[in-house]
Amino acid sequence: MPPMTHRDETRVLAQCQEVIGYRFHDMTFLQEALTHASGANHRLSSNERLEFLGDAILGAIVCELLFRKFPEYLEGDLTRIKSIVVSSRTCTKISEELGIGEFLVIGKGMSSQDQTPPSVLADVLERLIGAIYLDGGIEAAKRLILRHFEPEIDAVVDGQGSLNYKSDLQQVVQRRYGETPTYLLLDEKGPDHSKCFKISARIGERHYAPAWGRNKKEAEQRAAMNALCQLAGEPIPYESD
């Protein structure tokens, strides 16, 4: 791939700003956000520091939104919703929808891959949030977050979810272990017209944290989400006690 000219860089930065709906006053913030460590001349030139900042801002704004939007929810409910909404899977999805991967500055080794890794797509969104905060302040960052993350909150609360966690888990498990996860019904409670179901995902001989659902489909999706979080070393969003 030939080196990017100044004209090419200007065009790419302009397109990125149009996509995210924010125009930078200081273009170096945007350049830093889009420069992956593999394409940086120095680690401090990459966007890794911005990820640290953007992650904190994203979490704080989502927490404030949940606190104000759902005054009747307990702390545990708010924590569960937040853990799903700010997860790497949700960030990857939003990044893919925006096409941010097209604007990344990456090194030769990574550029030879067919697709940008999901973790990189998730990270660059957080770094863009950090860059917008530094350039335009908290309100500018909040506008971006509300525009793209509030629909995810509504989907989780409605019990629909915009992600198919069972499909995600199957892809991860097949790629990592060459197996297909199964789901076990562990318990059920309630009258026939309003039963709840407790289901656990199983991969090989290992059982993952179970979850309750208002129907088997919902319980399986929640159990899949728990398993994904455990595989990623993240806290599980659905407790079954």
HEC readout, 3-64 = CCCHHHHHHHHHHHHHHHCCCCCCHHHHHHHHECHHHCCCHHHCCHHHHHHHHHHHHHHHHH
CB hemisphere CA count around 120 (13 angstroms): 22
Beta-carbon contacts of residue 221 (< 8 Å; ≥ 6 apart): 161, 164, 165, 166, 213
Q: Taking a C-beta distance cutoff of 8 angstroms, is the pair 163, 237 a contact?
A: no
Q: Per-residue pLDDT for 151 more than 80?
A: yes
Q: Per-residue pLDDT for 46 more than 60?
A: no
Q: Taking a C-beta distance cutoff of 8 angstroms, is the pair 206, 237 a contact?
A: no
Q: Per-residue pLDDT for 231 more than 60?
A: yes
Give pLDDT, residue 133: 98
Three-class SS state of 209 = coil
Read off the pLDDT of each residue in 26-40 and give the average, rounded to a whole number: 80
Determine whether 220 is an active site residue.
no
**pTM for this one?**
0.69
What are the tens digits of pLDDT across the range 59-70?
999 999 999 998
Three-class SS state of 162 = coil
For 23, 230, 239, the CA distances from 76, given in Å and listed in that order, are 37, 18, 9
Read off the pLDDT of each residue in 198-211 and give the average, rounded to a whole number: 95
| Set 51, 126, 135, 220: catalytic member | 126
Q: Hey, what domains does the chain have and what are their CATH numbers? A: 6-157 (1.10.1520.10), 165-232 (3.30.160.20)
Report which of 225, 213, 214 is spatially closest to residue 163, judged by C-alpha positions.
225
Measure the CA–CA gap between 82 and 56, rounded to whole angstroms: 13
Give pLDDT, residue 44: 45
Q: Per-residue pLDDT for 71 more than 70?
A: yes
DSSP letter assigned to residue 235: P
Q: How confident is the model at residue 45 (pLDDT cuts 50, 70, 90)?
A: very low
| Set 51, 55, 123, 220: catalytic member | 55
Q: How confident is the model at residue 196 (pLDDT cuts 50, 70, 90)?
A: very high
Give pLDDT, residue 114: 61
Give pLDDT, residue 111: 47
Give pLDDT, residue 131: 97
Determine whether 114 is an active site residue.
no
Q: How confident is the model at residue 4 (pLDDT cuts 50, 70, 90)?
A: very low
Give pLDDT, residue 126: 95
Q: Per-residue pLDDT for 240 more than 50?
A: yes
Q: Residues, the chain, total?
A: 241
